[in-house]
């Protein structure tokens, strides 16, 4: 999805439990049955923003791949997450700070990195470099690149969760047609789309309303899992919108 739907996600309210950094809590406790899948999810969700950060810092592709892979290997081996303190803020900030410390340690030791050894999760570096090469040419800082990639990855995950819900209900084709209407200002005519879907325009509008509401709910849930306190969800949503709309 594109940046245009960002502001729409900020409307609506809901309540969240007091669980903090939900995914991180699960990932950092090896005794929890969901720890492994949570760790893999963390890697999949954050590897490209961190890779893009390293590339923007000037590391060549192969070295950025080495560093990103080694960092997540250490995360998967149980390191770094034991330093995570959800009381101290947002997880995206913790991840980036941890990477900075890791890179500084590696540079200080000047030890050779070995690619491929001990890989515990598959990271699509080839596609990642292709994505990085498509980044717009500008003077944005590495931190800014990370934040933007983080924000877009959140949006992508929310859309994918929505799509999966439609798939589970046996209606994937409905999602593909309705997703363009996630935007409040979509130019897609309701009349034509209703005809294509063999439904009335009124029924279509109800379906779109429900889709947007579910989208907002999932979006807020995604953010709630990465902040220290449910009260911070609103400010994080505003920050995400600012990251995506800032030129």
Return d(Cα 139, Cα 23) in angstroms, integer: 33
C-alpha neighbours within 13 Å on the C-beta side of residue 106: 18
The pLDDT, as a whole number, for residue 240 is: 86
**pLDDT given for residue 79 in this prediction:** 62
**pLDDT value of position 71:** 87
- Cβ neighbours of residue 204 closer than 8 Å, sequence gap 6 or more: 190, 193, 194, 197
The secondary structure of 79-133 as a DSSP string is -SGGG--GGGS-HHHHHHHHHHHHHHHHHHHTPPP-SSTT--S---HHHHHHHHH
How confident is the model over 138-165, as pLDDT tens digits?
A: 667 888 888 888 888 888 889 999 999 9
Distance in angstroms (rounded) separating the CA atoms of residues 209 and 214: 9
Two tokens at 79? 């390191």
Tokens representing 42? 């963390």
Would you say 23 and 226 are in contact if contact means Cβ atoms under 8 Å apart? yes
User: Is residue 127 very low, low, confident or very high in pLDDT (cuts 50, 70, 90)?
Assistant: low
Residue 215 tokens read as 């989208």
Contact (CB, 8 A) for 113 and 70: yes
CB of 54 closer than 8 Å to CB of 143: no
- 247's CB contacts (< 8 A; 6+ apart) are none
Kindly report each contact of residues 167-175 with a partner whose C-beta sits within 8 Å and lies 24 or more positions away, as own/partner: 174/207
In this prediction, residue 206 has a pLDDT band, given cuts at 50, 70 and 90, of very high
CA dist 7 and 11 (Å) reads 8
pLDDT at position 8, please? 35
pTM metric for this prediction:
0.65
Question: Are residues 153 and 45 in contact, defined by beta-carbon separation less than 8 angstroms?
Answer: yes
- List the chain domain ranges: 3-245
3-state secondary structure of 246: coil
């Amino acid at each position: 999805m594109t940046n245009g739907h960002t502001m729409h996600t900020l409307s609506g309210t809901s309540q969240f439990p007091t669980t903090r950094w939900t995914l991180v809590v699960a990932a950092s406790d090896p005794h929890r049955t969901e720890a492994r899948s949570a760790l893999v999810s963390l890697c999949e969700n954050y590897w490209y923003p961190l890779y893009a950060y390293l590339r923007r810092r000037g590391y060549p592709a192969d070295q950025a791949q080495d560093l990103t892979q080694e960092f997540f290997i250490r995360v998967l081996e149980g390191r770094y997450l034991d330093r995570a303190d959800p009381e101290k803020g947002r997880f995206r900030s913790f991840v980036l700070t941890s990477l900075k410390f890791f890179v500084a340690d590696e540079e200080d030791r000047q030890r050779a990195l070995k690619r491929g050894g001990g890989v515990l999760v598959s990271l699509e570096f080839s596609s990642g470099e292709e994505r990085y090469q498509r980044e717009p040419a500008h003077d944005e800082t590495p931190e800014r690149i990370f934040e933007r990639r983080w924000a877009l990855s959140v949006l992508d995950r929310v859309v994918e969760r929505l799509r999966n819900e439609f798939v589970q209900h046996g209606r994937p084709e409905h999602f593909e047609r309705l997703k363009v209407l996630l935007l409040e200002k979509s130019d897609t005519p309701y009349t034509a789309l209703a005809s294509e879907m063999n439904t009335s325009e009124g029924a279509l509008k109800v379906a779109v309303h429900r889709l947007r509401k579910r989208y907002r709910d999932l979006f807020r849930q995604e953010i709630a899992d990465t902040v220290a306190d449910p009260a911070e969800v609103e400010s994080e949503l505003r920050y995400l919108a600012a990251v995506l709309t800032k030129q």
